Amino acid sequence: MHVVILAAGQGKRMRSALPKVLQALAGRPLLAHVLDTARALGADKLSVVFGHGGEAVRAALDAPDLAWAHQAEQLGTGHAVAQALPHLPESGPVLILYGDVPLTRRETLSELITRAGTDGFALLTVDIPDPTGYGRIVREAGKVVRIVEQKDASEAERAITEVNTGILCCQAQHLRGWLARLSNDNAQGEYYLTDIIAMAVADGITVQTSQPAEVWETLGVNDKSQLASLERLHQRNLAQALLQAGVTLIDPARIDIRGALVCGRDVEIDVGCVFEGEVTLGDGVRVGANCVIRNTKIAAGALIHPFCHLEGASVGPKDLIGPFARLRPGTVLAEDVHIGNFTEVKNSAIAAHSKANHLSYLGDADIGSRVNVGAGTITCNYDGANKFRTVIEDEVFIGSDTQLVAPVRVGRGATLGAGTTLTKDAPPAELTLSRARQLTLLGWKRPAKKAK
């Protein structure tokens, strides 16, 4: 099977410099959703017909299984499909999809392909109360005979509520002949792909129809309002799937999934959370309100307090994170690690049972187990040109307001006094501190504000 995806529309109503098919739905381009579905069908080859902003579309989504066909002029859907003819096989089924119709389910398309059979034609239609703007399905004795576009329809034809979605499946050898016979003698002056239905009937081919389980599977995007509506529909569907899988969502209407979210048993997610990329939540994980979690694995029993931002991190079992904590890429936490409020960790490994509960920055560090990091501690990992690592061995106690100037090592069991600026290695099991001698300047007075 070959799939042709029409993605050449400029999308003027989007009022955006970004091509329409690159507008984001759930954090990914509209066209990416269509490509995923086409690949899930097991297509041998996919052809994408591009036009406006085509180079940007190719740069964003090019892949070995894609063939690209350029539609230099926008002369209608029939003309668009014709641009893909050099990539089509001589025979075999061809499925026509649209780059701005992202939510059609694989099961719906599989049924359509089955209806088409080995030598037939199948059309995806839908019944809607207000068919304004859609091509109407004209039947005689119950059989499809043609499609008439809104601007070319008679009053009686405009009353028809069964409409064309544009999605169809037919045989490549027939498609080639029909496209060659298309005319633009219509109100729009375009080559309508829908005209091939009447040609198929004239050639004695019965046009089968199939309908999706939900109307939203056929909805396209023409402006930002429609995009926003489709986003909420999609997020509602994703939330419903999580609920059916046993995930507790405090409010299913207030979650955003922009990638793949995999949850174990007894996971609980509070309101306002955003999940991006590949995110895994283990059994019993609880995520507090208003967290943003991107490309992160969180092990069983971990608690993510509200307002945390996690990216490219690995959180261990029973860890406590936040509130207001940030884990940046390269963070690897073992079990029972506490990262508290306004603490940031980057490219660091922290072993089991260690804590950094307040107002600290731990970057490019290897931290052992049972380490206590006091409030205000900073690993000074950057000299303005190069990054260096800090090593803190097991059972170290670091006093508040400490700066560790990398590269530096703190030996096992060492204690660093509060206010220390460590520039040399601290020996194991000893107290190390560096403070200026405390002075009291008698009679010193604060500056007074001068009167104007």
For the chain, give the longest Cα–Cα distance: 108
Distance CA 274, CA 256 (A): 5
Strand partners, 269: 249, 287
358 catalytically annotated = yes
Distance CA 285, CA 375 (A): 27
Residue 398 CB-half CA count within 13 A: 36
- Here the tokens at position 186 are 């219509």
β-pairing, 24-25 with 28-29? antiparallel
SS3 of residue 414 by DSSP: coil
Among 318, 313, 311, CA closest to 292: 311
Catalytic-labelled residue, pool 70, 174, 234, 358: 358
- Here the tokens at position 53 are 């902003």
DSSP 90: S
In what helix (H) or strand (E) does residue 339 lie, and over which residues does it extend? strand 338-341
Phi, psi of 148 (to 5 degrees): -120, 130
- Here the tokens at position 180 are 């060659």
Tell me which amino acid residue 399 is: G
Chain-centroid distance of CA 389 in Å reads 33
Active site residues: 358
